Amino acid sequence: MLPFEEKFRNYLKKNAETVFMLLVTLGGVAGRFFLWDIYTGDMGAYLKWYNRAKECGGLPGIYELGQRIKGYNALFQLLTAALTHLPVDPQYMFKIVWTVFDLLLAAGVGVLVYHLCTDGGKLSFRTAKNKPLDKPALRKAAIAYALSFMSMNVIFNSAAWGQSDAVYVSLIIWSLVWILRDKPLRSFILLGLAFAFKLQTVFILPFFVFLYVYKKSFSCLYFLCLPAMLFMSALPRQIVGLLSPMNVQAAGTAAGVAAKTTTAQGLPGIINVYIGQIASGGRMYLEYPSFWAFFPNEDPDVFTDFYKFRNAAIVLTLMILAALVYMLLKEERKFDNCRLMYAAMVLSFTTVYFLPTMIDRYGYIYEILAIVLIFLDKRSIIPAALLHLVMFYQIAGRVGMETLPVSMQQLSFILLIIYGMYLYLLFGSGKEESNAGV
């Protein structure tokens, strides 16, 4: 072996995890690139909003854009307006941004796994002055990064479907990292940003409520970060609205759009976007195989009083969540890192499975938590694999792939079994300590 080969070999051996993650990153980005040309109906909606943002003049016209886009929040409008200033195909631009958040999500999963596998010790990526990295935990973190970034559900969601779920879920994962490191302010700021981007952030809130009651280490006032970040995300648009009477011929006029002279949208409009999303649907279940899929409602006359049934279902979900939190608090077993992640998994799973009017992408957060759990408890490998297969089946059909004829009721039953498996691993295993993960 030549001298440079020996040096190269030693470098690879010493930095195996870094090289592995680099190769995974390159391969994952390359694989996504070949899917970026896929056009879906949801991507069509993004492109429609992009064209409206361009007509309004991009960032200088974000107030006008807010008048024209009523169904999406201010943070997404700001992002869309910013993309109009880049000389790249808009479909590619959206998918590139979602890929960046895929990377941020995978990095968050890796850091979270490293943190959990080192018994909650302080994270450090410096070895000279600080404590050296835990090599076994680092290997698990590298594999967790790879599993997350190369997950078919993650790849197809962003690169093929063109959806943005990695944005808010990556912020949630990093929020979990900080809350477990007893940095609640950082955690809730990130959680607030996630909420400002997607209402679906509420699926993880039951776990944070449980942490608040169980740990007693942070104030309930931190929860105010969620509405605070929502309103702050709308500040750029509001400021442009306030200034618009001073500069009526804004960038929107140059694009053929008459600039409005009103001062600003009312603050209730910021909330009304989410209220409108909550009130939409019209059926007890949509594309997600939830509990309510056991009660077929393809005929719109099945539920003549849909909103009454929906409200009752929401109350039922809250009662189930309250019961689970009560059972967790009354458990005599100590909550180690593994059981905390099981609690996060089960509470978010419960929220999505029993709430009405859910769609197939809403299981994203607990699918990612399932990846985290396999590194803490090897018993969760089978339910995690089944869960990802079921949800990938859903996504594959949404991006145009041919799938086997499986009914929504059958999928809901399979998902109920998986849910029961996670309930057993959280409550019924009878073991003081969980089995080590992979």
pLDDT in tens, 120-133: 545 544 444 456 77
Instruction: Look at residue 272 in the predicted model and tell me its pLDDT.
Output: 60
Confidence band of 273 (pLDDT split at 50, 70, 90):
low
> What's the mean pLDDT in 70-74?
74
Confidence band of 96 (pLDDT split at 50, 70, 90):
very high
The fraction of the chain above a pLDDT of 70, given in percent, is 83
Instruction: Look at residue 262 in the predicted model and tell me its pLDDT.
Output: 37
Instruction: Look at residue 406 in the predicted model and tell me its pLDDT.
Output: 85
- What's the chain's average pLDDT? 84
Instruction: Look at residue 299 in the predicted model and tell me its pLDDT.
Output: 56
Instruction: Give the number of other CB atoms < 10 A from CB of residue 387.
Output: 25
Instruction: Look at residue 131 in the predicted model and tell me its pLDDT.
Output: 66
Instruction: Look at residue 155 in the predicted model and tell me its pLDDT.
Output: 95
What is the rounded CA–CA span in Å between residue 29 and residue 100? 9
Spatial contact of 334 and 287, defined as CB atoms under 8 Å apart? no
* pLDDT score of 43 more than 70: yes
Confidence band of 311 (pLDDT split at 50, 70, 90):
confident
Instruction: Look at residue 407 in the predicted model and tell me its pLDDT.
Output: 86
Q: Which range in 267-276, 308-317, 427-436 is most confidently predicted, on average pLDDT?
A: 308-317
List CB contacts of 144: < 8 A, sequence separation 6 or more: 109, 110, 112, 113, 371, 372, 375
| 193 vs 432, higher pLDDT | 193
List CB contacts of 281: < 8 A, sequence separation 6 or more: 310, 356, 357
Confidence band of 432 (pLDDT split at 50, 70, 90):
very low
Q: At how many degrees (to 10) do helices 184-197 and 165-180 cross?
A: 170
* pLDDT score of 286 more than 90: no
Confidence band of 298 (pLDDT split at 50, 70, 90):
low
| 151 vs 134, higher pLDDT | 151
| 299 vs 194, higher pLDDT | 194
Confidence band of 114 (pLDDT split at 50, 70, 90):
very high
Instruction: Look at residue 275 in the predicted model and tell me its pLDDT.
Output: 61
